Amino acid sequence: MSDLRNEDGDGEPPTRPEEDPRNEPAPFGAVVLLTAASAVAVMGLAALLSHPPGLKFLLLGPIALVVFEVVVHEVWWQRWWGAIPGAAAGLALYFEGRAALADIVGEPWAHPVAYVAAWTLFAVVFALCSRYPRTV
């Protein structure tokens, strides 16, 4: 008779590879909504400051949130590759979108709207890319 105990010896059946927690992608809704909300919060805080915020300030909130989501939900390190195309898409949307929005809604609104949209696109691409590759 085969031994059905797992490595811990607690009598539980062994875990199958498809149950590997590293297969869990980043939670799409949570990552996208929380990243967008943190971008809105950063823009709101920036509006309260009398001087324009620096680049470090603008990157702090959403990056910290994405890192927190990755650490808390144990997204496998090989899934982080989605940050690269997400950053490229977000930067393209920010610079192109800000220029286009400046003509439509004016310069004061173009920066915050493009900033939030860019971080939201980054989170969408990152969360979608976190679904691949699957471990076997």
Please provide the average confidence, as pLDDT, over all residues in the chain: 79
Query: What is the CB neighbour count within 10 angstroms for residue 14?
Result: 11
Residue 101 pLDDT > 80: yes
Exposed/middle/buried for 122, CB within 10 Å: 0-12, 13-18, 19+?
buried
User: What does the pLDDT average to over 52-64?
Assistant: 72
The CA distances from residue 117 to 33, 78, 92, 94, 95, in Å, are 12, 26, 11, 7, 11
What are the pLDDT digits (tens) for 25-43? 878 898 899 889 989 988 8
What are the pLDDT digits (tens) for 110-120? 988 999 999 99
Question: What are φ and ψ of residue 73, in 5° steps?
Answer: -95, 10
